[in-house]
Chains A and B, each alone.
Chain A
Amino acid sequence: MSLDKAKNLDEFMEGIWRQNPVFVMALGMCPTLAVTVSAINALSMGVATTFVLVCSCLLVSLLRKVVPKEVRIATYIVIIATFVTVVDYAIQAISLTLYEALGAFIQLIVVNCVILGRAEAHSSKVPPLPAMINAAGMGVGFTIGLLALGTVREIFGNGTLFGISLFGESFQPWVIMVLPPGGFFVLGGWLMFFAWWAKRKEGSKAVPAEGHQHA
């Protein structure tokens, strides 16, 4: 039983650290760069993507023996699109300003490679529970990635965090941080930081951990 738990935890952590969709696999770069202007946008985008990811992966996993191999991609897209429509209407109902801020990127969750990648590479081959755990880990990892970008960009570009002013009235915003180049700079900075961290971790151990793979 404890072995199962450890395995599940490992499955969950995979998306957060070893195969983080943003920082390791560099998937789903469109929303990563486009909607991370503020932390709240990043968080809601991450939550929406996680919801779609978990639901689609569950359904894909349940249907894995039913779907013919030849039409699997089309089936996955239809499943994902269904949940994206749900999220689309839900966000519209919750907050119209948020809906307008995220714009077309909510609908574009359909083509987010993280989701299709998980469905194709993982959920279609495993039972529902591990599929869901893995998807949830990936979703949380994606949300963490977006938040990492969104907080830095909001703090520098606007002087606020989740809309709360941090530095008072006379803060000088860095306009570049809310422009597209700022997204690339911050993403590059985080990638550098994680690469350095991973390297340091690897260096501290004499032998690299078993099963440690670079995606």
Chain B
Amino acid sequence: MSARIELRTAPHVKSPRTVETIMRTVVLSLLPICLFFIYQYGISAAASILVVTGACLVAERASTRAGGQSGDIGDWSATITGLLLALSLPPGFPLWMGAIAGLVAIFLGKSIFGGLGRNVFNPALVGRAFVQAAFPTAIASYTPSFLPGRFGEFIPSSLALPFMQPPATDAWVKAMQIDAIASATPLSQFKFEGVVAGFDQLLTSLGGHLAVGPSPLLILACGLFLAYRRYLDWRIPVAVLGSAVVLGWALHAFDPVRFADPGFVLLSGGLMLGAIYMATDMATSPVTPKGALLYGALIGVLTVVIRDFSGLPEGVMYAILIANAAAPLIERVTQPTPFGRGPSSKVRRATYPLTPSYISREEHHAVVPEKGSFKPKVNQ
């Protein structure tokens, strides 16, 4: 009785981990964050999450049915897109606009490129960028969190009729008898009024009626779980948050009045959610270790630059989209050296002489590409 021998090439040991299990775990890790969001803003937030995620699933199903796409709604990736998109929108965002954001996210951000794993940009952020450009006032109008009666009543702007303007929420908020709290995010309060929110309030999202998303502490905890289980590359969030803190600290030391302290930079806006859940999207971030660090640092620096030197209060979205575009280049310049091909062993550098027909034989030897720009592929 001889053992059955199979002859096959590496890899020989495979993890049982599939796209579905990874995506399902990420969805599970997002659930506490979604629950906290609903706890903050009541049924409006719940409706927003449902509608946006539903729109993403509908779009995914439609485009996979139309053919030519990889993936389907069973792999949970569209669910992640929907949940992240809903979390990045204001809770009182009109539901019809949320549905458009979801449809655009999947059709324009994902299906056009060929579906799961082929998208160039993070689909959730493509959807958000579209509605940011289409409906700039609606996406900037936040309402205070922890309002009384938030579980029995919708934020009025949520229920705007399709294609109609949402009603202004100012009078509605005033009727709630909440004083001294403006319906503005801490970031826009800082940008336009110079008010810095407290550190512990920002950390837990629990202080008063701050118009903020779920607690950064909670997002960090969920991110740590994912990083511990190796569902995300820890280098990316570390590089994003680290570079943002370092640049924020340097700017704050330079001019404490104009630039916020690093703690505020770290905890305000969508930086935590973006760094942990959006920047780490597997299809749109570099796979090389050095590349991941470089990519994260690019996002952190761009975020601080956009926040401090542009007209926008928040810049995480654009920072991640720009870094997504740069990811293939970053991957290319950070290719690791194969074992045994270190700098000590002399790699024969391939040259590619340009010999088009119009260059004479005497000339063409003179034309060689500049050395050191890109390493040649040595394993070919």
Contact = CB atoms under 8 A, between A and B. Distances in A.
B133 A181 contact: yes
A150 B34 CA distance: 41
Interface in A142-195: 159, 167, 170-172, 174-177, 179, 181, 185
Nearest to B96: A172
Nearest to B133: A176
Contacts of B160: 172
A177 B100 CA distance: 14
B172 interface: no
Contacts of A174: 134-135
Identify which of B130, B134, B165, B166 gathers the most chain A CB atoms within 10 Å of its CB.
B134
B192 interface: no
Contact of A170 (B97, B130, B133, B164): B164
A146 to B, nearest CB: 22
A177 B108 CA distance: 15
Contacts, number: 30
B136 interface: yes
Contact of A171 (B108, B138, B163): B163
A172 B165 CA distance: 4
B163 A175 contact: no
B133 A172 contact: no
Contacts of B108: 185
Contact of B136 (A167, A171, A175, A181): A175
B130 A172 contact: no
Nearest to B160: A172
B57 to A, nearest CB: 22
Contacts of A179: 133
A176 B135 CA distance: 8
A172 B164 contact: yes
Contacts of B164: 167, 170-172
A178 B247 CA distance: 36
Contact of A176 (B94, B134, B163, B166): B134
A3 B97 CA distance: 55
Contacts of A177: 134
B165 to A, nearest CB: 4
Contacts of B163: 159, 167, 171-172
Nearest to A196: B66
Contacts of A170: 164-165
Contacts of A172: 94, 97, 135, 138, 160, 163-166
A176 B138 CA distance: 13
A175 B133 contact: yes
Interface string A43-74: 00000000000000000000000000000000
Contacts of A167: 163-164
Nearest to A157: B134
30 contacts: A159-B163, A167-B163, A167-B164, A170-B164, A170-B165, A171-B163, A171-B164, A171-B165, A172-B94, A172-B97, A172-B135, A172-B138, A172-B160, A172-B163, A172-B164, A172-B165, A172-B166, A174-B134, A174-B135, A175-B133, A175-B134, A175-B135, A175-B136, A176-B130, A176-B133, A176-B134, A177-B134, A179-B133, A181-B133, A185-B108
10 smallest CB-CB distances across A and B, nearest first, come from A176-B133, A176-B134, A174-B134, A172-B165, A170-B164, A170-B165, A175-B134, A172-B164, A175-B136, A172-B163
Given A172-B94, A172-B160, 14 more contacts: A170-B164, A171-B164, A171-B165, A172-B138, A172-B163, A172-B165, A172-B166, A174-B134, A174-B135, A175-B134, A175-B136, A176-B134, A177-B134, A185-B108
